[in-house]
Structure 1
Amino acid sequence: MTSLDILAIALLAFFATGYFVLAGADIGTGMLTPYLGRTDHERRLVITSFAPFFLGNEVWLIATAGVLVGCFPDLEGELLSGQFAVLVPLLTGWIVRDIGLWSRGRGPGPRWRALCDGAVVCGSWTVAPAWGWLLAGLLTGTPYEAATGPTAILTALAVAALFAAHGLGFATLRLTGLPYERARLLVGRTGSWQSFALTAVLLGALPALAGSTLPLTEHAADGATLALLVPALLVLTPLLVAAQVWTWRTFRHRVTRPSYL
C-alpha cells in the first residue's frame, strides 16, 4: 500500500463521514416534519431550519462519489451494478425530496405546499432506509449484491431510526416555539448538543465500518491517476470545509420565522 493509496482511502472516508453526519441532520428533520410541524406555518419553520444546509450537505455525497469513481474505478463499477436495486429508491427519494424543497414556495397555494411537504417527507423516508439497505450489504460482506432477508430489513430500519434521532437533535438546536417543544419532548433529559453529538458519532461510524469491509487497496487506480487526483482533492478539501463552516456559522441562530420556502 502506497502513501497515495492511504490518502485516497482517507479522503473517501472523510467525505462519506461528512455526508452522513451533515446530511443526516436535514434528512432526519425532513422525516419528522409531520410531527414537528402541525400547521403550514410550523412546517415552513421546520423546513427553514435545514433549508440553508441541504445543498451544501449533498456536495459531500458528490465528493464521495467523485473519489470512488476517480480513485477506485473498478470497485465503483462493481458496486453500482451489484447494488442497483438499492440505488434506484435511494436516488428516487433524493430527487423527490429535492423537488419538494425547491418547489414548495413556487406554487399557487396551501394544497401545493402540502403536496411539496409530502414529497419532502416521503423522499426523506425513502433515502434513510435505502442507505441502511446499502450499508447492510457492505457490513455483511456482500457489497456486490443487495442484502436480503431479516438482516437487510433490520439494518434499514435501524439506520432510518438513527437518521430520525439525528434530525431530532438538530431540530432542538434550530427550532423555536411549538416545533421546538415537540422535538425537546422526544429528546428528553439529554441536552440538545449531547443528543446531536451522540447521533453524529454513530452516523459517522457507519461509513467507516462499511468501508473497512471493502477491498479498497486492491481496487485503487494506478499510481499515475492517483498522483493526479489526490493532490487536487487535497487542495479542494479545505475549501469545501471552509464553505461548510461558513454556512453553519452564518445560519447558526435559531429559526424564528419562515423563509421563502
Structure 2
Amino acid sequence: MEVIWFVFFAALLAGYFALEGFDLGVGLLLPLLGRTRETRDRMVAAVAPYVLANEVWLVAVAGTLFGVYPLLEGEVLFGLYPLVVAMLLSWIVRDAGLWFRRRLDGSAWRGFWDAAIAFGSLGLSFGWGMALYAAATGFESPPVHPLGVLLGVVMTLLFALHGWTFLAWRTPGEFGGTRSGRALLGTGLVAAIPALGVLAGAMPYLLGHSAPPATLNVLSVMVLPFAPIMLGAQIWVWRTFRPGKDAFRFPSFF
C-alpha cells in the first residue's frame, strides 16, 4: 500500500508541475510578450479555462502529503515557513490579478493587475525551485542557498518555456511560433523532471515514513475513488478548449 500511495503522490506532483507550470509560464511571459493591452488580454484568455482545474492538483498534492506522510508536515511547514508563506502570498497575488484585472476598464487598472500576475508567477516559480532544493537535502539546508537560488532560476526558465509552448499550441502563430500537442507534452514532462528527481531520491525515506497501514487503507477508500473524477474533469477541460474547437470561448471573469 505504501508503494501505491507513493506512485499516486508522484503522479499528482508531476501533474501539478506539468499543468500549473504553463499557467505560471504564461504569467512570467506577460511583460515580455504582452506589449499591448490586447496582447495581454489574449494571453490571459488563452490560459483562463485551465487555471482552476490545474490548481486542484496542488490541493490534492497538499492533502496527500499531509495524509500519507504526516511526519513531513512539521518539516515542510516549520522548516520552510518563510518560503511557504512567500509562495502562498505569491499564489494569492497571482490569482487576484487574474480575477480583478477585468473588473474595471482602464489602462492603469489592467496594468497593475497584469504586473501582479507576473510578480506572483515569478514568486511561485522561483519558490518551487528553492523548495525542491530544500527537500532534496532533507530540509537540512536552508532554501536560500546558491544551489537553491540556481534551481529557482532553472524552474522559472522551464516554466517560461512551457508557457511559451502552450501559447504556441493554444494560439498558433500569435506569439512567434506554432507547436503541436506533443511538444506541449514534452515541455510538461521537462518541467516535472526536477520534482520527480527529488521524489526518486526521497523514495526510501517516504516509504519508511508513511502513515500506518490502517490509515492508508482508510485513505484509499475515501480518496482513490475520486481520482478518476478529477482526471475525467481535466480531460473534459482539455477537450472542450482545445485549439480548433471553441477556441475563443473563454470564461468572462478572466
TM-score w.r.t. the length of structure 1 is 0.89
Q: CA deviation at 1:145?
A: 4.5
Q: CA deviation at 1:79?
A: 1.8
Q: Is contact 2:49–2:250 with CA below 8 Å preserved after alignment?
A: no
Read off the aligned partner of 1:94 and give its amino acid letter.
W
Q: CA deviation at 1:150?
A: 1.9
Q: Is contact 2:167–2:175 with CA below 8 Å preserved after alignment?
A: no
Match of 2:234 in 1: 244
Share of identical aligned residues, percent?
35
Read off the aligned partner of 1:212 and give its amino acid letter.
A
Match of 1:235 in 2: 225
Aligned length: 249
Determine which of 95, 98, 107 is the counterpart of 2:95.
98
Match of 1:86 in 2: 83
Alignment of 1:1-261 (within 5 A): 4-139=1-136, 141-175=137-171, 180-182=174-176, 184=177, 191-214=179-202, 215-253=205-243, 255-256=247-248, 260=252, 261=254
Read off the aligned partner of 2:147 and give its amino acid letter.
T
Read off the aligned partner of 2:160 and give its amino acid letter.
A
Read off the aligned partner of 1:211 and give its amino acid letter.
L
Classify 1:229/1:257 alpha carbon distance in 2 versus 1 (closer, same or farther; 3 Å): closer
Deviations 1:38-62 (A, max 9, x none): 1111111100010111111010010
Q: CA deviation at 1:111?
A: 1.3
Once residues 36 and 109 of structure 2 are traced to their aligned partners in structure 1, the CA distance between those partners, rounded to angstroms, is 14
Tell me the SS of whatever aligns to 1:213: helix
Greater displacement, 31-40 / 237-246: 31-40
Q: CA deviation at 1:257?
A: 8.1
Q: CA deviation at 1:107?
A: 2.1
Q: CA deviation at 1:192?
A: 4.1
Q: CA deviation at 1:76?
A: 2.0
Q: Is contact 1:12–1:68 with CA below 8 Å preserved after alignment?
A: yes
Once residues 116 and 80 of structure 1 are traced to their aligned partners in structure 2, the CA distance between those partners, rounded to angstroms, is 29
Read off the aligned partner of 2:219 and give its amino acid letter.
L
Classify 1:200/1:176 alpha carbon distance in 2 versus 1 (closer, same or farther; 3 Å): closer
Task: Could you list the structure 1 runs, at least 4 aligned residues long, displaced by more than 6 angstroms after superposition.
Answer: none
Structure 1 runs not aligned, ≥5 long: none
Q: CA deviation at 1:35?
A: 2.0
Tell me the SS of whatever aligns to 2:148: helix
TM-score w.r.t. the length of structure 2 is 0.91
